[in-house]
Structure 1
């Protein structure tokens, strides 16, 4: 790829006491990764040097003071703060959340200005990052606030994509949150994403039920018959290939998910528990529905193994490659649809 056409990937480093920096450094130990993109880390030289020394990693890092000094063929590090940072590997600290947010804010700011093409986010701790500037359950909601669109969290591998009708909310709030409008909105986001981000011309989507056995004709709850099933019927009438509701246990147990391009789960653990059981460590979290591309690995901060050089970078690598492919697919789709409109 021509250096001028290299995709510039912004990377937020996540919680400074977790495994985020380790998986980033391990990913770019292999210099062949730089054939695919030009990475920019948003952190500080001292912080990255501390992790390199502690982990005995030799990843070559090129420090820059502004993004117009970016160098292709190198792992760029934009110095995003000047403060001294106290690192307590494996511990949840106020500092860990403070600088995770600084890194994320710097990356998002650069993405808004089109100085980078997309972002890959290393894991944050949802508790210590909370502040006056960050009052969100996670990355997904923060990014939705900062970029145009309605978001949909999709956990994915090559053969499984699971989106969530409801996201980071208590289980006690799930049933009252599910409405025909919400289901229609999430189906629409997944449908459009499968077309533009994954090059699937006629997406086939499965929708899971809410109650055990999809309510057993109202014996174990009425939401499936009164809300979910009629909404799916209504969506089908628009020509979309949407099917369900399916009882989640049988759906995954029988591997029915392999028959669909995308699956929509009613709540967080209904979708993520089977996903992580099937593909933990190889999956990717993709935020669909936004004007910009964002992915992340499918795991958390890994405090229990932080600083031990045991973190596996596979999921982060997958997140990186997935973001590049989605960026290319979306660009191609936009060009094709633009040309189709001109031809009319």
Structure 2
């Protein structure tokens, strides 16, 4: 295998074709330096790509069209045509057409990921309502990927250079959150996060903070007892298994005092509890990573942005970060797996980790205040 073929093949979904997904693909993949790092394969159609390319004449964007992976060109961007028919594009509009072709792109890309034809996948934003169909009843990428790979659990892990935030519950109505919080779900998430931090992020002894569900982490049962009956016992159980988990912490004080800087990841109980501080602190570079899968998938941390779709205004920072994070995780995972099969390298990694490891002091009383 030559050097070109050793680069990972990274797949890209179109997302909702009326949103900003294809614009982001054109903006990021028009930089030929990306080809030094990976071989991009976009699951869409030439016609959809050309529709948006015409609105950005200042961008030099070239590609080759393929329908067979044996025809992939490792020196060029590849468009894998998932459909040939003419599709009416209404940039900025939420309609059934946008959802249908977002679904088609995603299903083709995930099949390629499962079959090992691509080594990683970067998904452009879709809309959770219009993608629904008789054979697609999922609230987003994460539950669909869990189903497609036949997994018992996965974790939505938001990643930035200064913070990683995972969720116990994802797209659940606020009134139903407490019913979805259980020892089993928290323990499952912590086990997956711990393994992912080691294998995918190269952290030998990861430290994980766990947030409480209620204000002030329940105030010892005064404003809710989930911390006492569910979260604390979950933290203790995983600690007994050797996982360095701490908490529960009061969410507001935890972020206000920058305690997240002492940890390698934070497990939040619900969507807004974790994503509001994450998006505030990630400064446009946030990436959504699906931890716990045998394959690697990343995504930008924003939605379809119909209000600016087709206007050339979309900020590609998060999408570009998702591409580089996907490539980096592929490399780190390969290094981790190789080190586990090489006793000498494994011993070297342990010695380095022990030398660099610093003890963390956690005030358990403060974590509940």
Same fold (TM over 0.5): yes
Match of 1:98 in 2: 100
1:304 has 2:307 as partner: yes
Does residue 1:319 correspond to 2:322, yes or no?
yes
- CA distance in 2: counterparts of 1:181 and 1:39, whole angstroms: 38
Instruction: Verify the 8 A CA contact 1:9 1:118 in the aligned structure 2.
Output: yes
Q: Which residue of 1 aligns with 2:260?
A: 257
Aligned partner of 2:24 in structure 1 is 23
Matched, 1:74 2:99: no
Stretches of structure 2 lacking an aligned partner (at least 5 in a row): 347-369
Q: Does the residue aligned with 1:154 lie in a helix, a strand or coil? A: strand
Partners of 2:16 and 2:186 lie apart in 1 by: 33
Please list the CA deviations of residues 216-235 of structure 1 after superposition, one character each: whole Å capped at 9, or x if unmatched: 11110111112111221222
Q: How far apart in 2 are the matches of 1:118 and 1:238?
A: 31
Measured in 1, the distance between the counterparts of 2:231 and 2:81 equals 49
In 2: Cα distance, 1:267 partner to 1:103 partner:
29
Aligned to 1:114: 116
Deviating beyond 6 angstroms after TM superposition, the runs of 4 or more aligned structure 1 residues are: none
Moved more, 49-58 or 152-161: 49-58
Which of 72, 88, 91 is the matching residue for 1:86? Answer: 88
Separation in 1 of the partners of 2:263 and 2:106?
A: 34
User: Hey, what does 2:332 align to over in structure 1?
Assistant: 329
- What are the Cα deviations for residues 22-49 of structure 1, in whole angstroms up to 9, with x where unaligned? 1110001211111000000011111101
CA contact (8 A) 2:162 2:282 kept: no
The offset of 1:111, in angstroms, is: 1.2
CA contact (8 A) 1:281 1:299 kept: no
Task: Report the TM-score when normalising by structure 2.
Answer: 0.90
- SS class of match (2:307): helix
The equivalent residue for 1:212 is: 215
Structure 1: stretches of 5+ with no match in the other structure: none
Contact 2:7 2:39 in 1 (8 A): yes
Residue 109 of structure 1 and its aligned partner are, at CA, apart by: 1.2
- 1:38/1:75 contact within 8 Å kept: yes
What is the DSSP-based 3-state SS (H/G/I as helix, E as strand, rest coil) of the residue aligned with 2:154? strand
Contact 1:148 1:291 in 2 (8 A): no
Decide whether aligned partners of structure 1 residues 167 and 232 sit closer, same or farther in structure 2, where only a CA change above 3 A counts.
same
The match for 2:155 is: 152
The aligned residue for residue 138 of structure 2 is: 136
- 1:143-292 to 2 correspondences below 5 Å: 143-149=145-151, 150-292=153-295
The Cα shift of 1:146 comes to 1.1
Corresponding pairs, count: 344
Q: TM-score, normalised by structure 1?
A: 0.97
Mapped to 1, the partners of 2:115 and 2:221 lie a distance apart of 52
Work out the CA distance in 1 between the residues paired with 2:174 and 2:314. Answer: 31
Offset from partner CA, 1:3-25 (integer Å, 9 cap, x none): 02010001001000010001110
Q: 1:123 to 1:280 in 2, by over 3 A?
A: farther
